[in-house]
Amino acid sequence: MKSQRQAKIMEIISNRNVETQEQLLQELQSAGFRSTQATISRDIKELRIVKELTSFGTYRYTAATDEVSSTFSGKLNTIFRECITSFDYAQNMLVIRTLPGLASAAASAIDAMNMSVVVGTIAGDDTVFIVMRDTNAAAAFCGEIKNLLN
């Protein structure tokens, strides 16, 4: 059922401008799928669905265009698990603290992911500063980091 639901989610976001999880949930229910907002939220994360700015100035869900290789993903997980000491966000800005000398590696790993929601990164010795497209993207990325560390 999960794979069918996720396939339907991908179909819906590729054929319609879906701006919110509530809209996505309604579309799924119209297609005969019973689900909850929490399940939709997990599906969005698992499917690496992001919000992109439309030509009308609104946002819509879309599939991430750039795939990260599994080896790189493993290296990124290792970098994060081994060197991040703390992280937080304020609006669309994210600050990651690392062990001394490892911020550049963490920033480089983030840059190599080519995420459309990341505007850019700046790294010092033990601090990475990330500008995200919006607050939701920053919050979601913080959630991903938290999951990696747990």
The predicted pLDDT at position 33 comes to 93
**Among 45, 69, 66, 58, CA closest to 19:** 58
For the chain, percent of residues with pLDDT exceeding 90: 49
Q: Are 50 and 116 in contact (CB under 8 A)?
A: yes
DSSP summary character for residue 32: T
Q: Identify the CA nearest to 96 among candidates 109, 111, 82, 86.
A: 86
Q: How far apart are alpha carbons 119 and 134 in whole angstroms?
A: 10
- For the chain, which residues score pLDDT lower than 70? 65-77, 80
Span 44-57, pLDDT tens digits: 988 888 888 777 77
Burial of 86 (0-12, 13-18, 19+ CB in 10 A): exposed
What is the tens place of the pLDDT at every residue in 6-22? 999 999 999 989 999 99
pTM of the model: 0.51
- Show the tokens assigned to 45: 């994360």
